[in-house]
Amino acid sequence: MKKYINNMSKKNIVLLNLRKLYDSYGYKKISLPNFEEYDLYNENKDFILGNILTIMNPSGNLLALRPDITLSVAKKISKEKTLKYDKVYYQENIYTTSKYIGYSEKEQLGVELIGKETLFLNFEIVSLALKSLEIMSKKNMLVLSHAGFISSIFENLELEYEIKEKIFEYINNKNVHDIKIILKNNKNISDELKNLIYELPNLSGNIEEIEKKLSKYELNPKIIKILSGLKDLYNLIIKFHSRKKIIFDFSIIKNLKYYNGIIMQGFIDKIPNAVLSGGRYDKLFEKFGVDTGAIGFAVVTDNLNEFYKNENQKDFDILLLYDESDFEKLAEIVDKLVKDGNRVRTQNIIYKNYDFEIFNYDKKYIFENGELKIEI
């Protein structure tokens, strides 16, 4: 078994270790349908990025290829209403389509923890995210934010929806210049609040640095409570994880109709995009009429392809070319080689002149006239 694992690709070993991690913390693996009723997604468009692929089944019902896994998880948990599904993980594909990219299929390995927000539940998921990144690469970083921080600043401002969305885009892109252009002539927003908004794109670092930057502003009670909660979370996390692996960045704005609490993004070296993302999404369960909350994250496993693309992965260990002299003896030889932990590809000797250089393997064996020969 050990040799078999060693022969797996680096990516598959990483995914195996991630599943082992989630199992060890009591998370149950679940399987989800690739197709859901179209209404599930049509009624929850706010939670979906990209367009939906649809199909009509023989009964005339409109189905959709799953564009989002969390909705399927929420539907399953809301229906089952049992502790059995309060801690789950999955390894599933999502399917989307867009005008420029066309059809897209991506695999995700994700974790969901169901329950009303507490310090420990937030800690458990953030800790699992940090452990997941460590499995993927020793050079990693987890970036934390909070959806409520941004929304509490903008919720009472008299700004059109499109203007708010444009400002959120500029904050996310750390574009202070264009934010100032939008708000320059706005008389309904105080100069102090404008200056706080201008600060948001660069509001990153450790929690103490951020508190220092914010000390010159009069913050509303919601922000004060959020910062206090994040500080408590941070102080608990650094007792078990390196503080060098965690930073806060309040310029990260993900779907505020989806997330209402902690937001996280995980990065590893050599990959510019986040390989892990997630957060708290209590609002989703409200839509299903369930009085609970949820927090989780997903690893976009396809993003790891780039990280592990240069590994020298063997297709098998031994290529065994055989004639038809003694099939019983041949079968005995193959079984012994496999039991010894080798991966063996058998091929009739009539193909010996074929180009086997397309494969990556260690040794070539030839079974001919009842005898086994070894070619290195």
Q: What is the pLDDT of residues 317-351, one digit of tens each?
A: 999 999 999 999 999 999 999 998 899 999 998 87
Binding-site positions read 68-70, 108, 112, 258-259
In three-state secondary structure terms, 78 is: helix
Return the closest-CA partner of residue 136 out of 331, 307, 375: 307
Query: What residues contact residue 148 under an 8 Å CB cut-off, 6+ apart?
Result: 222, 226, 260, 261
Amino acid code (one letter) for 373:
K
Helix axes 147-154, 161-172, angle to 10 degrees: 140
Q: Whose structure tokens read 């997903």?
A: 298
Residues in Cβ contact with 157 at an 8 Å cutoff, skipping those fewer than 6 apart? 164, 188, 189, 193
Inter-residue contact 277 to 268 (CB < 8 Å) = no
Q: Residue 318: its pLDDT value, please?
A: 92
SS3 call for 376: coil
CB 284 within 8 A of CB 45: no
Give the whole-angstrom CA distance, residue 153 versus residue 157: 8
Average pLDDT, stretch 143-166?
90
Average pLDDT in the 161-190 region?
91
Under 8 Å between Cβ of 85 and 30: yes
At 100 the pLDDT is 67
Per mean pLDDT, which range of 72-76, 173-177, 291-295 is the poorest?
72-76
Residue type, 10: K
Cα Rg, the chain, nearest whole Å: 27
Burial environment of residue 179 by CB neighbours within 10 A (0 to 12, 13 to 18, 19 or more) = buried
| pLDDT tens-digit readout, 306-316 | 777 656 678 88
Query: What pLDDT score was predicted for residue 81?
Result: 67
**What was the pLDDT predicted at 179?**
94
pLDDT at residue 185, rounded to an integer? 85
The predicted pLDDT at position 4 comes to 59
Q: Kindly state the average pLDDT of the residues 290-310.
A: 85
- At residue 175, φ and ψ (nearest 5 deg) are -105, 85
What angle is formed at CA 335 by the lines to CA 331 and CA 338, rounded to 5 degrees? 140
What are the backbone dihedrals phi and psi of residue 241, each rounded to the nearest 5 degrees, phi first? -135, 155
Q: What is the pLDDT of residues 251-277, one digit of tens each?
A: 998 877 788 899 999 999 988 889 999
Separation CA 114–CA 128 (nearest Å): 15
The predicted-structure confidence for 18-64, as pLDDT tens digits, reads as follows 999 999 999 999 988 888 888 888 888 777 777 788 888 888 889 98
* DSSP helix/strand/coil, 95: strand
Average pLDDT, the chain: 88
Q: Are 319 and 372 in contact (CB under 8 A)?
A: no
Binding residues for L-histidine: 68-70, 108, 112, 258-259
